[in-house]
A and B are shown apart, each in its own frame.
Chain A
Amino acid sequence: MKNLDFAKMTSRSLYLQALFAPERQQGPGFAFALVPAMQRLYADATERGRALARHAGFFGTHPVLVGYVLGVVARLEERRAQGAPIDDQKIEEQKRALASPLAALGDPLFWVTLRPLAGLMGILGLAFFPLASTVAPDQRVLLCPLLVLLTYNAVALHYRAHGVPRGYAMADEPGKLLHSLRLKPLKAIFERVSAFLFGFLVVLTLGPMTESADPAGMGLAHTVSVLAPFALAGITTILALRRWPGRSVELALTAALVALVVSTRV
């Protein structure tokens, strides 16, 4: 196996989920990413096709971490092609032994923690980058998304780039490989940063809102009445999401409808 093969497998792993379906999940994508390795190992097209077909069945892991599984499988397939006594079952077992823990550790790190944190960094960019003057373009429209991309990819690209070669090199020590990735401690750090920054964002939003709620100096009661819809909607959402998690869209649409009806009646 050459570095070029690793690079090809890594680039193909970017399309891992293009044929995603509940029955096989990322299986076809895994076989697609393995093609460069199999082309190196099997000269005969029928043999190569059969070897790839063994990997087109059910497979599921975290897409950012798939490179590690690809590397391990490529190494085992290489030994098998060289005549080592490795059967289908052994490869499948090794594959699953690594794919499942990587999914269990990767999903909470990348989907549940890092993705929301990246979005939050982009939102905070609105407060930290200077507001545009009336005659200049608002650069925040480019800087905020850039913050999102940099925050997420600074972590994810590292795992993507090192996945295949590292998996290939540590194919015999899957436990050590998993431990070396340090996914769990990273998650704990990002969770805390995310909660901290959200608290920061709430004050950054509420501060100017409170100031602008009472420009004529009509008193606390006026400020409270102006901020009440925001606070009421926020608290109701927090309570409602405990009961119906993942229903933010429905809650937002319902709240908008209720607000429209109430505002036209009052």
Chain B
Amino acid sequence: MIFWELLCVALLGGLLALDRSAGWNFMLGQPLVGACLAGSLLAGALLHPGSEWGLWALRIPLGVGVLLQLLLTDPSLPAAQKPRDAATAGVIGASVGILCLERLHPSFSLLTGGIIWVLVGTLAGLLSSVAGGWMEATMRAVNQDRARRGEALLLEGKVAAFEALYWRGVGLLFLRGATWSAAATVAGVAAAALLLPRAIRILTGPHAGLLFAVILGVAFGSGYHTHVRTPRHGFRWAALGALIALGVFVQLKKGGGH
């Protein structure tokens, strides 16, 4: 794996971890954003389109991002949410998908298309979100001690020392996100390189298609729970949206549009 690719993943992962955990909350840490940014950085296809896999290289982050966005958006209030690291999951998922495509593409039949790499990336993203959530919980224990030390420094009148301690906390968050993103990407690509060639018999086009349809179904079920079931009168508004879309769709079909 090229050092430059890992550095990109690490820097992006660190930045998105800051967005989610430090308090920026600009939504850079949303899985769709993270996956697309990782895709733009890693896929040389943005600059050199038209290569054999170039087209898929940019569809993988979009596919991974959309699935993770629907699956990892929890409509509960923060205190009731399961600990998931959704910020780095998009970066890790898209990176694993693209790097696997680059390296393992010749081993697989073209019939499976790029969907197989979207699936690999999505599964990597889901697993990393769970493991990243556990890491975040341990980070909070470290923060507890630092916060007590910070208060002691303030009571002694050492405001500059308190500020330095606080900035170190910010740096630690960045480092955690960066190292976790790079390490999980390496682990994901290594696991895929080890397991996928052995599963080549079962990973045919139809199997990959079925797997994709099932994960897409779960993603839409999860999306329904987030966007329709949680708000009041959500179903009515969703039905209205569906009806209007249906009308547009039928009109476009009649007119021969796309």
Contacts and interface: CB of A to CB of B under 8 A. Distances in A.
Interface stretch (A71-79, A91-99, A135-143, A163-171): A135-143
Contacts of A201: 223, 241, 245
Interface stretch (A1-9, A148-156, A175-183): A148-156
Contacts of A123: 32, 66, 69-70
Contact of B77 (A112, A119, A193, A249): A112
Interface in A111-170: 111-113, 115-120, 122-123, 126, 132, 134-138, 140-142, 144-145, 148-149, 152-153, 156
B215 interface: yes
B30 interface: yes
B170 A237 contact: no
B65 A144 contact: yes
Contacts of B140: 20-22
| Chain A interface extent, by class | 35 or more
Contact of A248 (B72, B170, B207): B72
Secondary structure dominating the interface of B: helix
A100 interface: no
B103 interface: no
Contacts of B134: none
Nearest to B171: A18
Contacts of B66: 123, 126
Interface size class for chain B? 35 or more
Contacts of A245: 76, 80, 225
Nearest to A235: B221
B211 A256 contact: yes
B155 interface: yes
B91 to A, nearest CB: 12
A194 interface: yes
Interface string B199-242: 00010001100110111111111111111111111111111111
B159 A35 contact: yes
Contact of A141 (B22, B39, B74): B39
Contacts of A138: 55, 58-59, 62
A202 B242 contact: yes
Contact of A17 (B23, B62, B220): B23
Given A19-B143, A134-B55, A152-B27, A48 B157 contact: yes
Given A31-B154, A122-B33, A145-B32, A14 B24 contact: yes
A15 B170 CA distance: 8
Given A233-B221, A237-B218, A195 B40 contact: no
Nearest to A114: B27
Contact of B218 (A14, A64, A251): A251
A116 B26 contact: no
A102 to B, nearest CB: 14
A50 interface: yes
Contacts of B226: 116
A252 B126 contact: yes
Given A63-B23, A123-B66, A141-B36, A48 B222 contact: no
A199 B238 contact: yes
Contacts of A253: 123, 126-127
A49 B157 contact: yes
A148 B218 contact: no
Given A22-B140, A53-B154, A107 B78 contact: yes
B32 A17 contact: no
B15 interface: no
A20 B21 contact: yes
Given A132-B55, A203-B246, A251-B218, 13 more contacts: A38-B159, A57-B151, A122-B65, A135-B49, A142-B36, A199-B228, A199-B242, A231-B217, A233-B214, A237-B221, A252-B218, A252-B219, A264-B202
10 contacts: A18-B169, A22-B140, A112-B75, A138-B59, A195-B241, A196-B240, A199-B239, A203-B245, A238-B221, A263-B207
